Structures are given as C-alpha cells and as structure tokens.
C-alpha cells in the first residue's frame, strides 16, 4: 500500500505500533489469492448474532479489506468489531478490545492520521494497565485466543501454533469452553489429510470439548466423523445431528461439511445429498449450501472411475457447479477444475471437458498449489477418460516437481511410485530416475 505517512512520526511511536498485538503485527506475508479466500471464508461463517466469535470475525475482515486496498471499508469493519465486542460482552471496555484498538491504531497510522493513531495507542496502554496479563512473560488470555482464532485461517503451520495459543488461553481461563472447542477444530483441521486418522489423545480432547461445549455442533460433527473413520457405528447419531444442524443458522461452522464427509466415509452419499437438498429447500439463496450440495454431487459422480453415474445426478452436479462458480467469482478455481471433471462423466460433455481443461492449463495467474491441483486432476482425466497413460504420467511429473508440495503434489508422487512398483510399462526407468532426482519438499 502506498499509504500516506506523516513525516512527524517518531521512531518511538513506530516501535510502539510494532509492539502491539494485533492483525497488522501477526500477519506479515499474504498473497492476494489467500486474502480473497479468507474473505470468502468470513462471508460464509455468517454474522449471526449468536456467534461467539463475531467480534473477531469483524476484526479479521477489517484487516483483510485493508490488505485488499479498501481502507474505508476496513475502518467500518474495525468499528463494527468494537461495537460487537461491547454488545456481546455487555461492557464498554475489557481486555478483548486490545486487539481491536491496536488494529485501529495501525489503520490511522497508515492513513497518515497520527493524532487518531496516538489516541488508540493510549487506549491500548490504558487497557493493559487496567487488565494486566496473569503473568509477565505471557499475553492476556483474551489476546492469545484472538491471535489463535486469526492464525488458524492462515495455513497448516499456523493452525498448530493457533492450537498452542488456544491451550495457553484456556489454561488461564478454563470457563471459556469456546477456546477449547476452537483448539480441537484447529488441530483436527491441521490433520485433515493425515492417512492414519487422529491420535487417541486428540480424540480424547475432542470428546472432552464436545461434553463441555454441547452447543457446538461443528465439534460434534468432527467427533462423529472421526469415530466413523475408526469403524464405529454412528449412523443413528449422524441422522440426529443432521436434523439439529438443519435448525441452525447457515454457517460454514454449523457442522454440515464434516457431517457430509462422514456420510461419504460411510458410503451413504445419497443421505448426504438428501440432507443438502433439504437445507437448500429451507434456505434457497444460501451460496454456502449450494457449495456443499455441489460437493456431494461431485463425490457421487466421481465414485465411478470408469462407469457412469446416472445422467440426472451428473446434470444436477453440473448445474450446481456452474451456480457456485458464479457465486464465488474470486475463488472459483477449484470448482472450475471439478466442473471439467464432472463434464467428462456426462454423455455429451466430453469435448466440453477437454476444452475446459485446456483453458485452465492456459492460465498464467496460478500459484503453485493451484498448478498441482490442476496437473493432478488433468493427469487422472487423461488416464481415465482419454486412455493416454504416457501424457498422464507427464502431468503427474509436472505436479510432483513443484517444490512447495501440496496434497496434490504428494498424491502425484504416490501414483508415480505405484506405477514403478508394478513395473509394467516402458516409462518405468524414466519415472524411477525422475523420483530419485526430486528435490526435498520445501513445505515440510
């Protein structure tokens, strides 16, 4: 940002700003793509009055808007955060305002409004004196909690750090069960692509969180999903929870998505589709529900690697994907890849699918994660739908050689290793050599 800077600002004031605990000091490097994804996440969490994290939602939203270049809107959201925190906590001041005032101090500084920035710096100092941290070398638990809630939106490594901060805050204030619930959500999310399932210790933590925070249906859904994965019989509980979720305000934290993943795990995709369609009947304009419905239809269509799903399910999947792409214009890349794959399953969509993949491959704005996702899916498409195994292998190689490896880069490596192990094709020596020369993964 080429924000105006006042020449009068002293280095002492600047070091005070840099010492603040707020979004401007927590989040140092972001990409536009990451910011757009987080904005979408915040929109989908919803701003229902009953949401415990509503103040934090507005705080992060304000920061994201500032980073995307909308200072005026950012200011509105920071002010919304102030009012929301005061309303939800039923008090005009408290330690939960420190982060918010820190954000406002930074925003006014970036706008060149140094007097207003100083005013917020003083407010933070006053709150620090009035509500000191329980121990000198630790932050106030309210600050740890908000820092954790923010960082868990910024990638896997930050989720683990967030879980640690939640633990610290909860130890200091064990009555805040929402902090414990958010900790287990962060940990479960960080482990979501882990082959072995969650550890027994984490499962115990999730059970405890579910008992202590029975209102949190997201934690309930995560716990059921993991028990289902371990082979427990949870079908009846899943049905009951599904009905409870339908009665809640629509939100990405309602518990619907982990419940749908449980249905996928149990092989009951028809139940998942019925549940999302019922939710859509109640809230026909909610884009998040359309997204969930499109996901279930995609799973159903892609279950059949060689055979065809029924044409009606395919057409419903195509329609939902097209709607979702329109509803998420800034973050629809994954859905476009999914749509191409779904089109390939349709009796009259083969050429459309091929053209869609060519258009996606021609894009110049993709980051390394998007490229791996695209190359992996295109490689599968080439193998299953165009019976072109050599070209498929080339694209798995393109996916695997990208340094910062995402889930899809790792999946491509697994496919290539499997082909080598079977040893049935002429390209095996070339693949073996390629795998031996792969550099270490930067993202580990």
Q: d(Cα 109, Cα 115) in Å, to the nearest integer?
A: 9
Tens place of pLDDT for every residue, the chain, 444 residues? 544 444 457 788 899 999 999 999 999 889 999 999 999 999 999 988 888 999 999 999 999 999 999 999 999 999 999 999 999 999 999 999 999 999 999 999 999 999 999 999 999 999 999 999 988 889 999 999 999 999 999 988 899 999 999 999 999 999 999 999 999 999 999 988 776 778 999 999 999 999 999 999 999 999 999 999 889 999 999 999 999 999 999 999 999 999 999 999 999 999 999 999 999 999 999 999 999 999 999 999 988 655 567 889 999 999 999 999 999 999 999 999 999 999 999 988 889 999 999 999 999 999 999 999 999 999 999 999 999 999 999 999 999 999 888 899 999 999 999 999 998 888 999 999 999 999 877 555
Q: How far is CA 311 from CA 75, 194, 275, 343, 351, in A?
A: 49, 34, 20, 11, 17
Whether this model's pTM surpasses 0.85:
yes
CB of 215 closer than 8 Å to CB of 249 = no
At the second CATH level, the architecture of 11-132 is Alpha Horseshoe (1.25)
pLDDT of residue 195: 67
Query: Which segments of 19-96 does DSSP mark as H helices, in order?
Result: 23-26, 32-45, 54-67, 71-89
Q: d(Cα 223, Cα 207) in Å, to the nearest integer?
A: 7
Per 3-state DSSP, what percentage of the chain is helix, strand, and coil (rounded to 5)?
Answer: 70, 0, 30
Q: To which residue do tokens 């490097």 refer?
A: 29
At 160, list the tokens: 């683990």
pLDDT of residue 423: 84
Q: d(Cα 38, Cα 55) in Å, to the nearest integer?
A: 16
pLDDT of residue 132: 94
CB of 252 closer than 8 Å to CB of 41 = yes
Q: What backbone phi and psi angles, to 5 degrees, belong to 136?
A: -65, -35
CB of 151 closer than 8 Å to CB of 161 = yes
Q: Is the dihedral of CA 27, 32, 33, 36 positive or negative?
A: positive
407 CB-side CA count, 13 A: 10
The domain ranges of the chain are: 11-132, 366-444
pLDDT of residue 2: 43
């Amino acid at each position: 940002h080429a924000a105006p800077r006042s020449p009068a600002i002293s280095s002492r004031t600047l070091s005070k700003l840099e010492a603040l605990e707020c979004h401007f000091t927590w989040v140092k490097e972001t990409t536009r793509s990451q910011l757009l994804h987080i904005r979408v996440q915040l929109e989908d969490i919803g701003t229902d009055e009953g949401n415990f994290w509503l103040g934090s939602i507005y705080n992060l939203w304000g920061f994201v808007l500032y980073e995307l270049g909308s200072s005026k809107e950012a200011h509105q959201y920071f002010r919304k955060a102030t009012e929301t925190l005061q309303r939800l906590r039923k008090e005009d001041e408290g330690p939960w305002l420190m982060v918010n005032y820190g954000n406002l101090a930074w925003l006014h500084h970036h706008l060149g409004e140094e007097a207003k920035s100083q005013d917020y710096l003083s407010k933070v100092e006053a709150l620090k004196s009035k509500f000191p941290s329980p121990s000198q070398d630790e932050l106030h638990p309210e600050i740890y909690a908000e820092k954790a809630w923010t960082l868990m939106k910024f990638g896997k490594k930050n989720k683990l750090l967030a879980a640690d901060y939640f633990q610290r805050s909860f130890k200091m204030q064990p009555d805040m069960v929402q902090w414990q619930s958010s900790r287990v959500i962060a940990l479960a999310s960080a482990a979501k692509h882990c082959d072995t399932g969650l550890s027994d210790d984490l499962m115990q933590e999730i059970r405890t969180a579910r008992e202590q925070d029975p209102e949190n249906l997201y934690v309930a859904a995560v716990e059921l999903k993991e028990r289902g994965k371990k082979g427990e019989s949870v079908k009846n509980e899943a049905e009951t929870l599904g009905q409870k979720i339908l009665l809640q305000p629509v939100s990405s934290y309602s518990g619907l998505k982990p419940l749908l993943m449980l249905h996928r795990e149990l092989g009951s995709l028809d139940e998942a589709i019925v549940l999302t369609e019922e939710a859509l009947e109640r809230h026909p304009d909610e884009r998040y529900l359309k997204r969930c419905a499109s996901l279930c239809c995609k799973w159903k269509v892609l279950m059949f690697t060689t055979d065809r799903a029924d044409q009606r399910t395919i057409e419903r999947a195509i329609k939902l994907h097209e709607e979702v792409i329109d509803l998420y214009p800034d973050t629809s890349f994954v859905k476009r890849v999914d749509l191409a794959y779904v089109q390939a399953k349709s009796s009259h969509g083969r050429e459309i699918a091929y053209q869609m993949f060519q258009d996606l491959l021609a894009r110049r704005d993709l980051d390394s994660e998007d490229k791996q996702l695209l190359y992996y899916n295109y490689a599968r498409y080439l193998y299953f739908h165009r019976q072109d195994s050599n070209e498929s292998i080339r694209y798995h190689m393109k996916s695997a050689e990208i340094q910062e490896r995402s889930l899809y880069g790792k999946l491509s490596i697994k496919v290539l290793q499997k082909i080598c192990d079977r040893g049935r094709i002429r390209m095996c020596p070339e693949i073996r050599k390629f795998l031996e020369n792969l550099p270490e993964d930067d993202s580990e």
